[in-house]
Amino acid sequence: MEGIDFHETFAPVAKLVTVQTLLTMKIPQGFGKPDDDRVCKLKKSLYGLKQASRNWYHKFTTSLLEIGFKQTGADHSLFFEQNQETKLFLDKRFSIKDLRSLKFFLGIEVARTKQGMVLSQRKYMLDILEDARMMGCRPSPFLMEHNLKLDKCDEEQRVDPNQYQRLIGRLLYLQSTRPDIAYVVNILSQFVGDPRQSYMEATNRVLRYLKATPGQGILIPKEGGTNLTAYCDSDWLGCPFTRRSRTGYLLLLG
């Protein structure tokens, strides 16, 4: 039944290790004694199973709740607990690999200081400059020209949409640790459907600004508190296309 059991649906893929195992008819190293001639019988494969991710999430969630973790209602992938040997328990249950203190994750570099944790994407940003062939560009002290208003630019020359979309997509992910570029990048992302030369020039200005500030990031302080602060501002008739007003906001926790 859909949503309950899709165990009969899977995508069998022959890997090289599987082929070698079938040819030698031996149990893989570490699963038996040297003179053991038994073979492995596959009961069920999770690879290709439509509910594989759902089953994994259910098993992992159940394991965390079992040792006292609490699941947040706002984000079901967030669990918290302070007084548990979490790594030891997960290693016994799932056989994990301990990578020690976090230093690098999904392109984000983590540095620990006395004040807290500093998150940056220096290597990721340098990769963007290299792919865009902007490593030798002149750095810029500002993101966008003053009072620059980007319109549809119908009469301007089109640029490669794949290149522009890929660049804007990577800049959107860079906002994780560079909120200073959020406003400009979100404006430029409005033109991914029909990019023109002016948009690419404005994007190159962002890259020049990033080159001037390669190691900049954000600090997550140890003693930030739990105070929630919000700032808001409006730009009346700010959209050059619809003449609608635009609202910007900033939320700070701690």
Checking if the pLDDT of 6 tops 80, the result is: no
Q: Are 48 and 12 in contact (CB under 8 A)?
A: yes
In degrees, to the nearest 5, what angle opens at C-alpha 251 toward C-alphas 246 and 254? 170
Residue with tokens 């800049």: 171
Answer yes or no: is pLDDT of 148 > 60.
Answer: yes
Which range in 34-38, 59-63, 77-81, 247-251 is most confidently predicted, on average pLDDT? 59-63
C-alpha 48 chain-centroid distance: 24
Q: What pLDDT score was predicted for residue 2?
A: 64
pLDDT score, position 11: 45
Residue listed under structure tokens 């290693």: 91
pLDDT greater than 50 at residue 129? yes
Contacts 24+ apart (CB under 8 A), 128-132: 128/167, 128/170, 128/171, 128/174, 128/207, 128/210, 129/207, 129/210, 129/211, 132/167, 132/204, 132/207
pLDDT value at position 19?
57
Residue 97 phi/psi, 5-degree rounding, is -110, 120
pLDDT at 48: 60
3-state secondary structure of 152: coil
Q: What's the confidence (pLDDT) of residue 10?
A: 39
What local confidence, expressed as pLDDT, does residue 94 receive?
A: 82
Higher pLDDT, 153 or 202: 202
Mean pLDDT of 32-43: 72
| 159/254 Cα distance (integer angstroms) | 43
Q: At 189, phi and psi to the nearest 5?
A: -70, -15
Q: Identify the DSSP state of 237.
A: T
Query: What's the mean per-residue pLDDT of the chain?
Result: 79
Dist CA 68 CA 84 (whole Å): 8
Of residues 171 and 8, more confidently modeled: 171
pLDDT, one tens digit per residue, over 209-228 is 999 988 888 888 888 777 88
**How do 228-235 and 116-120 pair as beta strands?**
unpaired
Which of these ranges, 11-15, 47-51, 82-86, 246-250, has the smallest mean pLDDT? 11-15
* Region of 30 on the Ramachandran plot (φ > 0 left; ψ -120 to 50 alpha; else beta): left
Amino acid 167: pLDDT: 92
What pLDDT is attached to residue 31? 62
Q: What is the pLDDT of residue 20?
A: 55
Classify strands 116-120 and 108-112 as parallel, antiparallel or unpaired: antiparallel
pLDDT tens digits for range 159-178: 888 888 999 999 998 988 88
More confident residue, 119 or 242: 119
Here the tokens at position 148 are: 């620059």
